[in-house]
Chains A and B, each alone.
Chain A
Amino acid sequence: MHISDGVAPIPVAVAGALAALPGIAAGLKVLKEERIPAAALVSSVLFLSTLLVRLPLGPSSVHPLLGGLAGLLLGWSAMPAFLISLFLQALLFQFGGITTLGINTFVMGMPAVGVYLLFNGRIRRERDTRKAFCLGAAAGIAAYLASFVLWAGALLLCGRQLAAIVAIAFLPNLVLAAAEGIFTGFIVSFLARVYPAIFGAPAFEAEGEGL
C-alpha cells in the first residue's frame, strides 16, 4: 500500500510531506535519547517481519503491514520509525519512492498513532490473553483499514483516473485486513502473556517507567 514515484504530482507530494512533518517531529520529541536503541530495535523487527513473513492466504501469501503493532509498541515514535523503514524500502527494494516518502509516512504512520491513542492504555492493563487477542486484532484491523482509506484518498488526490485502482483494491484489502488482524492479535496476546511490560514502552515518553 505505497504510492510510487511519478504518480504524485508535486503539490500532493508536498502536502503529504507537510502533513507527515508534525507527527514525525512529535515522535522525535517524545523519544528520549536513552530510548533510541529500544525504539530502533523494535522498528528493525517490524521492518524485518513485514519483509520476511509471508502469511499464507488462499493460493498466494501476503505480507503483514504491522501498522497497528507499531503504534502499540512505539506510540508517536511510530512516525519517525515508519519514515526510516519506508526510506529503506524505497532505497533497497523500490517499494514506494522518495518524492512520495512524506505521503507514505503519513498513510502508514498516522493510523499507528491513532491505534496507540485508542488501544494502548487498555492493552497495558489487559492480563486476559483472549481479550488481549481481541484488542490486538481490533488494533491491527483498525490501523490497516485506516491506512487503506488514507492511501485511497491520497491516490484520488493524485488524479481521478486512479479511482479504478482503488476500486479494484477495495475487496482484496478487506481480506488482507482480516489476515492482518489475526496476525496482530496473536502477537499481542503472546506479548501480553510473555512480556506485558513491552506495552509500557511507548513510555518512550513516560518518566522512569522501565521495561
Chain B
Amino acid sequence: MSCTTFFDGDTFIHRLDPRPRIIVTLAFAAVTAFSSNSGVLCAALAAGLALAVLARIPAAALRRRLLRLNIFTVVLFVTVPPTFPGRTAFALFSIPFSVEGLLWSLSTAMKANAIVLVFAALMGTIDLFTLGHAFHHLKVPVKLTHLFLFTLRYLDVLHHEYVTLLRAMKARSFRPSMRLHTYRSYAWLTGMLLVRSLERSERILEAMKCRGFSGEFHVLKHFRFSAADAAFSAVSFAVLALFLAAELAGAAAVW
C-alpha cells in the first residue's frame, strides 16, 4: 500500500493546469458551503458527479470514499432531526423527527458529498508532488510548501519502515489484544520510528548541504496556463456565479 496515491489517468481534467483546478475547487467548496437553496445544492451535486465521471475516477475508490463520508451523514440524520425544532414528520420509538431537521441533514449531506466529489475529481487527480509545486506557484509560504513536500517524500519510506518493524514484531508472535503490553509495543514501535526518522533527517540535511543547499528550494515543475485552462476556468466561474446568483435571488427550490 502506498500512502501517497492519487487518481491517475489521462482525461482532459488530468491535462489541465493544476493551479486553476485548485482555485476552482476552493471556490466551489466555498460557494457550496454558503448555499442553502435546494435547487443550487442539487445542481452542485450534479456538477460534482459530472466532474467525477469526466475525470474517470475508479468507481470502487469513489464508492469507498463516499461511504466513509456518509457514515457521518447517517449520524446527522439520526441525531439532528429529534432535537431540531419544527413540525413532526414521523416518530420512531416515540421520538419525534422534525421535517426541518431532516431537510437540514439532507442539505448538509448534499453539500458534503458535492464538495468531496469535486475535491476528488479536480485535486485528487493531481499527483501530490505536482500539487506541492502548484502550491509554490500559488505563493503559498515557502516553508509550508517545503514542509509539505518533505512530509510527502518520506511518508512512503517511513511506511515501509513501519511495516518492517511490525513484521518483526509479528515474527515474535505479537498479537494485539487489550493489554498494556500491546499499548507499550505499539508505543515503542512509534517511538522507534521517531528515533529512526530523526537520524534519517540528519543524514538528509547533510546530503542536502553536500549539494550546496542554501535554504532555497529550486522548483523544477513549471506550469503553462493554456487556452484550455482559460476555457475551463471561465466555464467553472460562470457556473459558480450562476449558483451564487440563484442562491441570492432565492431561485425555485425543490423543497
Contact = CB atoms under 8 A, between A and B. Distances in A.
A208 interface: no
A93 B64 CA distance: 9
Interface centre among B25, B33, B162, B200 (most CB of A within 10 A): B33
Interface string B135-160: 00000010110111011111100110
A94 B101 contact: no
Interface centre among B5, B186, B202 (most CB of A within 10 A): B186
A201 B69 CA distance: 36
Contact of B162 (A41, A52, A161): A52
A37 B65 CA distance: 31
Contact of A44 (B30, B84, B197): B197
B194 A45 contact: yes
Contact of B197 (A41, A95, A97, A182): A41
B115 to A, nearest CB: 4
A170 interface: no
Dominant secondary structure at the B interface: helix
B112 A7 contact: yes
A84 B68 contact: no
Interface residues of B, number: 77
B208 interface: yes
A78 B30 CA distance: 26
B59 interface: no
A161 B198 contact: no
B115 A6 contact: yes
B182 interface: yes
B178 A37 contact: no
A45 B158 contact: yes
Interface in A4-48: 4-10, 13, 24, 28, 31, 33-34, 36-45, 47-48
B84 A5 contact: no
Interface string B196-222: 011011101100100000010000000
Contacts of B193: 45, 48-49
Contacts of A6: 32-33, 108-113, 115
A195 B190 CA distance: 13
Interface in B71-113: 72, 75-76, 79-80, 82-84, 101, 104, 108-113
A99 B30 contact: yes
Nearest to A87: B148
Contacts of B204: 37, 41
Q: How big is chain A's contact interface, by range?
A: 35 or more
A51 B158 CA distance: 13
Contacts of B152: 88
Nearest to A51: B3
A183 B183 contact: yes
A28 B109 contact: no
Interface string B33-62: 110000000000000000000000000000
Interface string A64-88: 0000000001000000110111011
B177 interface: yes
A162 B154 CA distance: 38
A125 interface: no
A149 B147 CA distance: 28
Interface stretch (B10-18, B116-124, B230-238): B116-124
Given A48-B162, A57-B178, A191 B191 contact: yes
Nearest to B148: A84
A28 B141 CA distance: 9
Contact of A91 (B26, B80, B119, B191): B119
Interface string A104-125: 0000000000000000000000
B124 A91 contact: yes
B176 interface: yes
B68 A186 contact: no
A5 B116 contact: yes
Contact of A41 (B66, B79, B201): B201
Given A36-B147, A44-B197, A58-B178, 15 more contacts: A34-B205, A49-B162, A73-B194, A90-B119, A92-B5, A98-B29, A98-B119, A161-B80, A184-B187, A186-B183, A190-B191, A190-B192, A194-B191, A195-B191, A198-B198
13 contacts: A31-B143, A40-B150, A40-B154, A44-B151, A45-B194, A48-B158, A56-B177, A57-B178, A73-B194, A84-B148, A161-B104, A164-B82, A195-B198
